Amino acid sequence: MKQIVDLLVPIVEDELGLINLKRNSRYGEYSRGRAIAYKILRVYGFSYQSIGLSFNRHHSTIMYSIGMIETYLSQDNKLMCSYVSIKNKFLMNTLVNEDVSDDAIIEFNVELSNMNNKLAEYNLELYNKWRRYKKYDGIIDAIPRDFKDLDLLERKVQSFVNSTY
């Protein structure tokens, strides 16, 4: 267990720009970094108790952190990208050391595939939003800074919107 944690901690620290992940800090960056490590170790097959002992935390803290990190990952795409990167690097390091079971590799691959799908959906959503708002650039550029006639402005905007469809 210690070997695996010693492989994982530097990867998390490098990816998130942290120093001494195991330190007793309640800053968000550190607690999220530890929670990512907990989640990866849990997927790897370790018990809450053993993860807690490795990080000098109570097993209930590990359970709570894993639940919270899943919420954060679903809401923060940058954090999700960091998590995927950390998992990939960790998986590559453990494969080199041959300390990982076939079931863990399969579970990692399934989870990474699901995350890639979520990121692809998010990218498509962002692209569609960009396209939707891009059409209004012409309207904003066409309005003079000292424009006073609101009726005329409304007609111009309406004609512009109608012409883009």
- Residue-wise pLDDT for 38-90, tens only, equals 999 998 889 999 999 999 999 999 999 999 998 988 888 888 888 988 988 88
The per-type count for the chain, helices as H runs and strands as E runs, is 8, 0
Residue 112 gets the label, from left (phi > 0), alpha (psi -120 to 50) or beta, of alpha
Q: Considering the chain, what is the average pLDDT of its residues?
A: 82
**Within this chain, do residues 154 and 85 fall inside the same structural domain, yes or no?**
no
Neighbours of 43 (CB within 10 A): 14
For residue 80, being part of any structural domain is answered with yes
For residue 111, being part of any structural domain is answered with no
Structural domain count of the chain: 2
Tell if the pTM clears 0.85, that is, is over it: no
**Within this chain, do residues 94 and 139 fall inside the same structural domain, yes or no?**
no
- Catalogue the E-assigned strands of 14-145: none
Sign (positive or negative) of CA dihedral 29, 35, 39, 41 = positive
